[in-house]
Amino acid sequence: MKVYNNFSLKYFNTFGLNYTCETFIEVEYAEEIYSINKKYNLSQKKFLVLGEGSNILFTKDFDGIVLHPSFNNFTVEQEDSEHIYIKIEAGKNWDEFVRYTVEKNIGGIENLISIPGLVGAAPIQNIGAYGQEIKDTISFVHFFDFEKNVFRVYDNRQCSFGYRDSIFKNRLKNKIFITSIELKLDKNPKPVLDYYDVKNELMKNGIKNPTIKDISNIISKIRENKLPSPRMIGNAGSFFKNPIIDKNKFEALKRIYSNIPFFYLNENKVKIPAAWLIEKIGYKGKVNGNVATYHKQPLVLINLGNASGNEILDFANEIKNEILNQFDIDLELEVNVV
């Protein structure tokens, strides 16, 4: 492990905000967590596990310990005629691993291409895009429990996955350190083509029987066109969750807004795009001081260069209030505020 004091987190959050932490520990091997916990007694201290910071908003300096995983190997644990089971360490870049599986024609996560962040963060948020979620392929999550001072393993069911949600984001928040995940992937890929944008691009390119490489290329280009690169413009991707509302509320909205986009989750619940709501209140491309909504995708809040974390949060709350007043829908933040 490597330990640094009064460490800048500017390059460990994709908003590019220059806040600091008291102590920054680079964890080079999963096994080090045990000795780190013994030395720092983390169950009694303020700490934060931080990867690339692609889903976090700092609003002040962090007066505690930041743990950053840099161990990033992956191994094939077993395979059969249909599936391959791969264990990936927490510090592996997620997009790099997705691209590896696509090149090997291993299916199951190809639609999750170009999502920033490290593997360890994927199950916490139950990352998802274009009809796939990480919960669909996770077999096990390995983690260290700071309170019990032991390494533990949860199977998929124990993770209590939900929409952009898991037990690691709720009951076990700030109590554990994910060290690796195991995925059950397909040797015979079954493309997921639920989204209009993907189908439309396939049609435009004359692709009738798409491979997962075709799909991942298309999704990567769609994301590139819609979302700004954090390397160029400070942002944390989608700032809000797409709201899920009951059928009666949806039908009432549809009577007023006949063109409202939607997706039925079941007979009683409907998901609608937060981006559509934000655009409807006139906030697409809106600038507010040093913060703005991205002109191509209003779900993304961007740092125009000199924003503070509180400026970004105030702007997000302004959007939430406008949508609550106009639609009676309470948007939830997807980004974690610290």
Provide the pLDDT for residue 43.
Answer: 85
Give the CATH number of the domain where residue 162 resides: 3.30.465.10
Which of 28, 32, 279, 334 is labelled catalytic? 334
Same domain, 59 and 135: no
Provide the pLDDT for residue 10.
Answer: 96
Output the six-digit token pair for 111.
């639609």
Which of 89, 133, 164, 180 is labelled catalytic? 164
Which of 166, 180, 238, 308 is labelled catalytic? 238
User: CB burial class (10 A; 0-12, 13-18, 19+) of residue 118?
Assistant: buried
Provide the pLDDT for residue 263.
Answer: 85
Q: With respect to residue 112, please indicate whether it lies within any of the assigned structural domains.
A: yes
- φ, ψ for residue 287, nearest 5 deg: -105, 135
Q: Is 224 a catalytic residue?
A: no
- Report the chain's C-alpha Rg in angstroms: 20
Q: Is 26 a catalytic residue?
A: no
Range of the domain at 17: 2-69
Spatial CB neighbours of 28, under 8 Å, sequence gap ≥ 6: 1, 2, 70, 71
Same domain, 80 and 59: no
For 180-233, the pLDDT digits (tens) are 999 999 999 998 887 888 888 888 888 889 999 999 999 999 999 888 988 899
Same domain, 238 and 317: yes
Contact 134, 123 (CB under 8 A): yes
DSSP 332: P
Q: With respect to residue 313, please indicate whether it lies within any of the assigned structural domains.
A: yes
Q: With respect to residue 177, please indicate whether it lies within any of the assigned structural domains.
A: yes
Rounded Cα distance between 107 and 84, Å, is: 10
- Note the pTM of the prediction, 2 decimals: 0.90
For 47-68, the pLDDT digits (tens) are 999 999 999 999 999 999 999 9
Same domain, 61 and 80: no
Provide the pLDDT for residue 104.
Answer: 96
Provide the pLDDT for residue 267.
Answer: 84
Nearest to 117 by CA among 140, 134, 95, 141: 95
Same domain, 113 and 157: yes
Contact 116, 237 (CB under 8 A): yes
Counted domains in the chain: 3
Q: Is 35 a catalytic residue?
A: no
Residues in the chain: 338
What is the average pLDDT score of the chain? 94
Q: With respect to residue 286, please indicate whether it lies within any of the assigned structural domains.
A: yes
Residue 233 CA from chain centroid, whole number: 18
Q: With respect to residue 262, please indicate whether it lies within any of the assigned structural domains.
A: yes
Where is pLDDT greater, at 268 or 8? 8
Give the CATH number of the domain where residue 313 resides: 3.90.78.10
Same domain, 81 and 181: yes
Among 38, 69, 100, the domain-final residue is 69
